[in-house]
Amino acid sequence: MSLLSDRIQKIDASGIRRVWQMAINMTDPVNFSIGEPDFDAPESVKQAAVKAINDGQNGYTLTTGYEPLRAAIAQQVTEEVQWKKPQVMVTCGVSGGLNISLTALINPGDEVLIPDPYFVMYNQLIDMLGGSCKFIDTYPDFKLDADKIEAQITEKSKLLLINSPSNPSGTVYSPEELKAVARVAQKHNLLVISDEIYTDFSYDTPAESIARYYENTIILGGYSKAYGIPGWRLGYLAVPESLSELFNAMVNFQQYSFVCAPHPLQVAAVTALGCDMTEQIDNYRNKRDLIFNGLKDRFGLVKPAGAFYAFVPAPGGNATAFVTKAIETNVLVIPGNIFSQRDTHFRISYATSDAMIAKGVERLNRLADSF
């Protein structure tokens, strides 16, 4: 008899983390692997955390979170999607909110519709819970096609899970795309989970939430990316008042799993919400342009509109083969089959210095010429 549960054996080790780990033993690596901002938290936010610790705010909060932070999140959600009384819970990162949401909703055999490519955690958690992933092919432009989604819906379809701005493609779904998908979701009574961790990183037009057009939505948001605090593990989930039964169930699950997000860091997050991060976002728009302009001629990639990723067609059409060669030249990128049912693209995270981007672009172009 195996020591491990059948459930845990369905999870693979993260391919992103495996590649990231390689950088430790490499000389002069260009690390395009990990999706972590290269800027630090604002000084006022760090000092707010220190003050909260020194003031003794080190115990548990309520399961739903620190009340001033919850109130600020609720106000923000109301302003952005016009929900009158959003139900809000602070979570241990968006990953914590995703885990809670999927655990509260999925029964074995339930189908979850996911645009492909997708974030690595989605299919792993769904498989572990006994659900079935129905992947919606979005190649080559990564647009959200409502007709393709509807064609995959069956009597077992329960959820649609979307991510905009997207990891790994950098796509930002347009209002027209979201409205069309909302109509399909309404028609088939689907619940939507909207992963909005990269909302602040939208470079050409503001990113919108599908919750503006469809109430039956769980919004997942967080602070790791926009405020340079990924290690703090702070996120939130929000649902409309009409989903109060689901919200209460998710609160119960948090109570018996994560318990609550870190108390002093929740206090400091209230300060973070008042910080102007325009300079950092502008810098990342410039990094996006450096990547796109540097690679578009040889690679023909779709221009990312948000987040800090580019999903790049691999020369020869085999991403794993190209990535293997790239790593041999000290450029760490991630093969597309970690994010997709295909292995035709590779992911770049350009959350690094401009100098490192220039070095990586030069190496990748040189490799493409010889591949």
Q: What is the CATH number of domain 59-272?
A: 3.40.640.10
Q: Which has more confidence, 12 or 181?
A: 181
Q: Where are the alpha helices (DSSP H) in 155-243?
A: 175-188
Predicted confidence (pLDDT) per residue in 72-97, tens digit: 999 999 999 999 999 999 999 999 99
Percent of residues, the chain, with pLDDT higher than 90: 89
Predicted confidence (pLDDT) per residue in 32-46, tens digit: 998 899 999 999 999
Measured between alpha carbons, how far is 161 from 217 in angstroms, rounded to an integer?
A: 10
Average pLDDT of span 211-234: 97
Burial (CB < 10 A; 0-12, 13-18, 19+), residue 309, is buried
Predicted confidence (pLDDT) per residue in 346-368, tens digit: 999 999 999 999 999 999 999 99
Predicted confidence (pLDDT) per residue in 255-290, tens digit: 999 999 999 999 999 999 999 999 999 999 999 999
Residues β-bridged to residue 91:
235
Q: CA 180: distance to chain centroid?
A: 22
Determine the pLDDT at residue 13: 63
Determine the pLDDT at residue 8: 81
Measured between alpha carbons, how far is 279 from 299 in angstroms, rounded to an integer?
A: 29
Say if domain 8-41+277-370 classifies as CATH 3.90.1150.10: yes
What residue spans define the domains of the chain?
8-41+277-370, 59-272
Predicted confidence (pLDDT) per residue in 175-197, tens digit: 999 999 999 999 999 999 999 99
Asked whether this chain's domains 8-41+277-370 and 59-272 adopt the same fold, the reply is: no
- Whose CA is closest to 326, among 284, 295, 283, 286? 295
